Chains A and B, each alone.
Chain A
Amino acid sequence: MMDRFDLAVLGGGMVGSAIAYGCAARGARVALLDEGDTAFRASRANFGLVWGQSKGDGMPAYAGWTQQSIALWSAFAERASSLAGRDVQYRPQGGLNFCLDQEELETRRDFVRRRHNQGWSSLRFLDRRELAELMPGCPLGPEVLGASFDPADGSVDPLTTYRAMHAGVRAHGGTHLPGAPVTGVERTGAGFVISRADGSVVHAEKVVVAAGIATTKIAAMVGLDVPVRPVRGQNIVTERLAPMLPLPASALRQTSDGTVQIGVTNEDDGRLEIPTTTAALAKMAHRAIRVLPPLANANFVRTWAGLRPMTPDAYPAYAESETHPGAFVAVCHSGVTLAAVHAGPLAEGILSGRLPEFAAALHPRRFHVQTH
């Protein structure tokens, strides 16, 4: 097939499909290359938070980029719901991070203060009494001393959002090419030729590498050095329960269907495997029960794990290659929160050849500075 696309996005997960949708919606002829459902997608193991309060501490560009995305999310969610054919259940009703002992409380108070000093003014600290007023009837455990609270945070159904991105690519004439990993990217006269493991080739004027944990390998093919390692996260989901937790929290949320999702681990052992472990699940469940004691009587129905793409400083990385102009990279572990900017300003910047200010400030060259 000698079809020539304006843009090939390498990676069909949450990040790649959001960029592909954004570019297709702006009139580009887009191919979305996707290893397929055998890929270690973070997109299928994320927590469904649209979340700012923990993001960009010490990295103002990431904080600003996150805030920009959250500001765009309501309009984005409306488009996504219409593309998916069902509500993505975006609920920006505020988000919490619970403190269960004095030390956690002090650390969180300091964190809230520090974010304030960095200009993140919506974040507040709520003591036990204020939490009870915010969530009357919520059966919080006696150990809950307080929580940080950001009214701009919220949650969404991540799988429906993901489905919406793929539907958006199709609705705007894009081509989804699943089933084979990328094996090579080479410059031709005015563009790129991408080879895949099934022997097929795709021609495109521009490429975007959005390949999650495979980003390092594929970005190197276009002269970009982007260190990314896999960090495993485990999840528990319970049977559907009557409403008990009205606001989402870090590592604990109740979906609108009633299931309670419990996270989360950060296992940084480099292994490309996604097992769950009894020790980690027990620890996660134990903490969730300290927050909400009735969960001790809930049955869980499923546990699973996924691999997040993590850069050395955990912030996202975006760049256009200097050696291969027209080749871009986009990698992060917050594909849901950042979906609105990926499908919006980032897509626009890739098409115009000028990345938005915040994204440009998150260049992976920061990982290669000589520090001593």
Chain B
Amino acid sequence: MFRRTEPTDCTILWNGAPIAARAGEPLAATLLAAGITAFRTTPVSGAERGPLCMMGACFDCLVELEGRSNVQACMVPVRDGLRVRSQQGARAVHAEDAST
């Protein structure tokens, strides 16, 4: 669906699998360029969702980033080695997160 116009220069992990990326680009762009369109499942129906607006407004591109859930993938600049997982359903929050 999407074609890269610039070369890749680093690698991130998506659900444990390596994906070629370009440092500084939005994480959502990296995933879309790799052909990934389902970033998460909704808490209500379980349906798959992916980015709509690519500008921080729609909250449809939520992922789990380095263990933090409900992070907007379109707002995160990529760097080498980022560990990203799809966001499955509702976010669980814990009191201990407060210190991080």
CB within 8 Å of B: which residues of A?
139, 239-244, 257-258, 293-299, 301
Say whether B90 contacts A139, CB under 8 Å. Answer: no
User: Closest chain A residue to B68 by CB distance?
Assistant: A297
Which residues of A have CB within 8 Å of B97?
294, 296-297
Interface status of B91 (Cβ within 8 A of chain A)? yes
Q: How far is the CA of A255 from the CA of B9 in the complex (A)?
A: 44
Question: Number of residue pairs across A and B with beta carbons under 8 Å?
Answer: 44
Say whether B70 contacts A299, CB under 8 Å. Answer: yes
Residues of B contacting A: mostly: loop
Kindly provide the distance from the CB of B3 to the nearest chain A CB, expressed in whole angstroms: 33
Interface status of B95 (Cβ within 8 A of chain A)? yes
Kindly provide the distance from the CB of B28 to the nearest chain A CB, expressed in whole angstroms: 18
Kindly provide the distance from the CB of A52 to the nearest chain B CB, expressed in whole angstroms: 29
A-B CB contact pairs (8 Å), 23 listed: A139-B94, A139-B95, A239-B70, A239-B91, A240-B43, A240-B44, A241-B90, A241-B91, A241-B92, A241-B93, A242-B90, A242-B93, A243-B90, A257-B43, A257-B44, A258-B43, A258-B90, A293-B95, A294-B93, A294-B95, A296-B95, A297-B97, A297-B98
Interface positions, chain B 25-80, Cβ under 8 Å from A, are 43-44, 59, 70
CB within 8 Å of A: which residues of B?
43-44, 59, 70, 89-95, 97-98
Query: Apart from A241-B91, A242-B92, A296-B98, what are 10 other A-B pairs with CB-CB below 8 Å?
Result: A239-B59, A239-B91, A240-B43, A242-B90, A242-B93, A243-B90, A293-B95, A297-B94, A298-B91, A298-B93
Residues of A contacting B: mostly: loop
Which residues of B have CB within 8 Å of A240?
43-44, 90-91
Kindly provide the distance from the CB of B71 to the nearest chain A CB, expressed in whole angstroms: 10
Q: How far is the CA of A294 from the CA of B94 in the complex (A)?
A: 5
Say whether A242 contacts B91, CB under 8 Å. Answer: yes
Which residues of A have CB within 8 Å of B98?
293, 296-297
Which residues of B have CB within 8 Å of A296?
95, 97-98
Kindly provide the distance from the CB of B21 to the nearest chain A CB, expressed in whole angstroms: 26
Q: How far is the CA of A332 from the CA of B93 in the complex (A)?
A: 37
Which residues of B have CB within 8 Å of A139?
94-95
Q: How far is the CA of A295 from the CA of B44 in the complex (A)?
A: 20
Say whether A295 contacts B93, CB under 8 Å. Answer: yes
The 5 A-B residue pairs with the shortest CB-CB distance, nearest first, are A242-B92, A293-B95, A297-B97, A294-B93, A240-B43
User: Closest chain B residue to A244 by CB distance?
Assistant: B93
Q: How far is the CA of A109 from the CA of B22 in the complex (A)?
A: 62
Q: How far is the CA of A295 from the CA of B95 in the complex (A)?
A: 7
Q: How far is the CA of A340 from the CA of B83 in the complex (A)?
A: 52
Which residues of A have CB within 8 Å of B91?
239-242, 298
Which residues of A have CB within 8 Å of B70?
239, 299
Q: How far is the CA of A258 from the CA of B44 in the complex (A)?
A: 8
User: Closest chain A residue to B97 by CB distance?
Assistant: A297
Q: How far is the CA of A123 from the CA of B91 in the complex (A)?
A: 34
Kindly provide the distance from the CB of A100 to the nearest chain B CB, expressed in whole angstroms: 16
User: Closest chain B residue to A257 by CB distance?
Assistant: B44
Which residues of B have CB within 8 Å of A244?
93
Which residues of A have CB within 8 Å of B90?
240-243, 258
Q: How far is the CA of A244 from the CA of B94 in the complex (A)?
A: 10
Which residues of A have CB within 8 Å of B93?
241-242, 244, 294-295, 297-298
Q: How far is the CA of A234 from the CA of B90 in the complex (A)?
A: 25
Which residues of B have CB within 8 Å of A258?
43-44, 90
Q: How far is the CA of A139 from the CA of B92 in the complex (A)?
A: 12
User: Closest chain B residue to A294 by CB distance?
Assistant: B93
User: Closest chain A residue to B92 by CB distance?
Assistant: A242
User: Closest chain B residue to A243 by CB distance?
Assistant: B90
| With A257-B44, A299-B70: A242-B89 Cβ-Cβ less than 8 Å | yes
Q: Which of B93, B94, B97 has the most CB of A within 10 A?
A: B93
Q: How far is the CA of A257 from the CA of B91 in the complex (A)?
A: 12
Kindly provide the distance from the CB of B46 to the nearest chain A CB, expressed in whole angstroms: 12
User: Closest chain A residue to B95 by CB distance?
Assistant: A293
Which residues of A have CB within 8 Å of B94?
139, 294, 297
Which residues of B have CB within 8 Å of A299?
70
Kindly provide the distance from the CB of B68 to the nearest chain A CB, expressed in whole angstroms: 9
